[in-house]
Amino acid sequence: MVELDDGKVIYAFDGTAQPVLTVPSGATVRIRTKDCFGNQVQTPEDVLDEIDWDRINPATGPIFVEGAVPGGALRAHIDSIELDGQTASCTGEGEGVCGDLFTRWSTKLCKIEGDKLVWSDKLSIPLAPMIGVIGVAPAGAPVNCGTPGSHGGNMDNTAITTGATLYFPVAVEGALFGLGDMHAVMGDGEVSVSGAEVAGWATVTLTALPELSLKDPIIENDTHVGIIASAESLDAAADRAVHEMVELVCARTGMGADEAIMLFSMVADVQVCQMVDPEKTVRFMVPKYVLEALGFQL
């Protein structure tokens, strides 16, 4: 297994970026990440108005994966997530769903003890580690790491956790993979504009799939397969995700679109990932037992 420290980070997914690591298809990489603040918030005295906002949402990378080619896909399996012992969260004027309520930034630091995040002496929250920023370089202009899209990026999807597998459409040679912005716990929606932001290590296995063609990222876990879509509104993102899943399932099973959407209306779920970034993100999750009965395979 190869290790990559957080000395090399990107602030945009960029097809012209020079890779900091090259690995063969199927390699497992243990990646050190900074938190979304670039590790600049460590004490209560670290005021958000005074940090360097050009260092926000760093992703460690990029990693060149041999065999990943434009028009194909990259599979990234999340083998493990290891968290540091302190988190930082924030909200402020114009930020998140309730940004209209504030005229200044607020920050809260929390400790991790065992399998809990200690919010106060009265409340501890079970950990649910996940990766907020993960993806590959897009075609065309670079995309800031704070923005999600078809390349992945800042999807802030709580389902991106240990055991999950992601499939990204590859737009440039080698894919140029990166990840960061881990959370110790985060609710769907990320309504304040942050979760429990934390640095740590993520171990991923990266596999080139040159024959698999995708429009948007796909996520797979033990129970579901889903499309992750981002758009200017939650409605538009949901519409995109559902249409893509119908198209994908019909193409691979021969099922008619009318039957597919009626079935999905019974068994599948539109779930909000985040509603606070420049593009909003949803996931449309279909149970595997349904897909297996239909003979569906990626």
For residue 82, count other CB atoms closer than 10 A to its CB.
13
pLDDT per position as a tens digit, 222-267: 999 999 999 999 999 999 999 999 999 999 999 999 999 999 999 9
Chain-centroid distance, C-alpha 229: 11
CA distance linking residue 52 with residue 75, whole number of Å: 33
49 pLDDT band, cuts 50/70/90, is confident
- The confidence score (pLDDT) of residue 45 equals 82
Residue 220 reports pLDDT greater than 90: yes
Neighbour-count burial of 210, counting CB atoms closer than 10 A to its CB (0-12 exposed, 13-18 middle, 19+ buried): middle
pTM greater than 0.75 (yes/no): yes
* CA atoms of 10 and 201, how far apart (whole Å): 16
pLDDT recorded at residue 268: 98
pLDDT of residue 237: 98
pLDDT-based confidence at residue 44 (cuts at 50, 70, 90) = confident
pLDDT per residue over 102-117, tens digit each? 999 999 999 999 999 9
Task: Decide if pLDDT at 47 tops 80.
Answer: no
The pLDDT of residue 32 is 98
Give the Cα separation of 249 and 96 in Å (integer). Answer: 35
* CATH architecture classification, 2-6+24-42+51-209: Sandwich (2.60)
pLDDT band at 163 (very low <50, low <70, confident <90, very high): very high
Q: What φ, ψ does residue 105 adopt, rounded to 5°?
A: -80, 145
| Whole-number pLDDT of residue 81 | 98
For the domain made up of 218-294, the CATH class stated in words is: alpha beta
Locate 212 and state its tokens.
Answer: 């698999």
Work out the percent of the chain whose per-residue pLDDT is above 90: 95
Give the separation between CA 159 and CA 253, rounded to whole angstroms. 26
Q: Where are the domains of the chain?
A: 2-6+24-42+51-209, 218-294
Which of 17, 278, 273 is CA-nearest to residue 138? 17
The C-alpha R_g of the chain, in whole angstroms, comes to: 19
Mean pLDDT value across residues 143-162? 98
What is the distance between the alpha carbons of residues 232 and 186, in angstroms, rounded to a whole number?
22
pLDDT at 213 over 90: yes
Top pLDDT among 166 and 49 is at 166
Residues 195-209, mean pLDDT to the nearest whole number:
98
Write down the mean pLDDT value for the chain: 97
44 upstream amide cis, omega within 30 of 0: no
Mean pLDDT calculated for residue range 144-166? 98
Give Dmax over CA atoms of the chain in angstroms: 60
Pairing relation of β-strands 21-23 and 59-65? parallel
8 Å CB contact between 280 and 271: no
What pLDDT is attached to residue 54?
A: 87
pLDDT digits (tens, 9 = 90+) for 2-31: 999 999 999 999 999 999 999 999 999 999
Average pLDDT over residues 85-92: 96
